[in-house]
Amino acid sequence: MFKKILWSLIVIIVVIVLYLVAWPVPIDPVAWDAPPNPGYTGAFEVNERLKGVETLPIADNHAPEDIALDSQGRIYAATHEGRIVRLNSDGSNPENWVDTKGRPLGIDFDRKGNLIVADAFRGLLSIAPDGTITELATTAGGVPIRFADDVDVAADGKIYFSDASTKFGAKESGGAYEASLLDINEHGGHGRLLVYDPATDVAKTLLDGLNFANGVAVSHDQNYVLVNETGSYRIIRLWIAGPKKGTSETLIGSLPSFPDNISTGDNGRYWVAFVSPRNPLIDKLAGKPFMRKVIQRMPAFMRPKAVAYGHIIAIDGEGKVLANLQDPDGSYPINTSVTETKDYLYIGSLVAPVLARLKKEKIGLR
Residues 137-160 pLDDT 10s: 999 999 999 999 999 999 999 999
Mean pLDDT to the nearest integer, 25-30: 93
pLDDT at 182: 97
Mean pLDDT to the nearest integer, 109-119: 98
Of 42, 87, 81, 59, the residue nearest 344 (C-alpha): 87
Q: Is the pLDDT assigned to residue 10 strictly greater than 80? A: no
pLDDT at 143: 98
Q: How far apart are CA 117 and CA 112, in angstroms?
A: 14
Q: What is the pLDDT of residues 242-257, one digit of tens each?
A: 999 999 999 999 999 9
| Domain 40-363, second-level architecture | 6 Propeller (2.120)
Question: What are the CA-CA distances from residue 139 to residues 72, 186, 215 (Å)?
Answer: 33, 23, 19
Q: What is the pLDDT of residues 206-221, one digit of tens each?
A: 999 999 999 999 999 9
Which stretches of 198-277 are assigned E, i.e. beta strand? 202-210, 213-218, 224-229, 234-239, 248-252, 257-264, 270-277
Q: What residue segments make up the domains of the chain, in order of their start?
A: 40-363
Q: How far apart are CA 44 and CA 307, in angstroms?
A: 17
Band of pLDDT at residue 20, cut at 50, 70 and 90: low
Residue 200: burial class (beta carbons within 10 Å; 0-12, 13-18, 19+): exposed
Q: Angle, nearest 10°, between helix axes 289-297 and 176-186?
A: 150
Band of pLDDT at residue 366, cut at 50, 70 and 90: confident
Q: What does the mean pLDDT of the chain come to?
A: 95
Q: Is the pLDDT assigned to residue 24 strictly greater than 80? A: no
Q: What is the pLDDT of residues 190-208, one digit of tens each?
A: 999 999 999 999 999 999 9
Mean pLDDT to the nearest integer, 50-56: 96
Lowest mean pLDDT among 20-24, 102-106, 126-130, 299-303: 20-24
Q: How far apart are CA 326 and CA 347, in angstroms?
A: 12
Q: How far apart are CA 179 and CA 216, in angstroms?
A: 19
Q: How far apart are CA 243 and CA 116, in angstroms?
A: 30
Residue 194: burial class (beta carbons within 10 Å; 0-12, 13-18, 19+): buried
Mean pLDDT to the nearest integer, 173-202: 98
- Count other C-beta atoms under 10 Å from residue 135's C-beta: 11
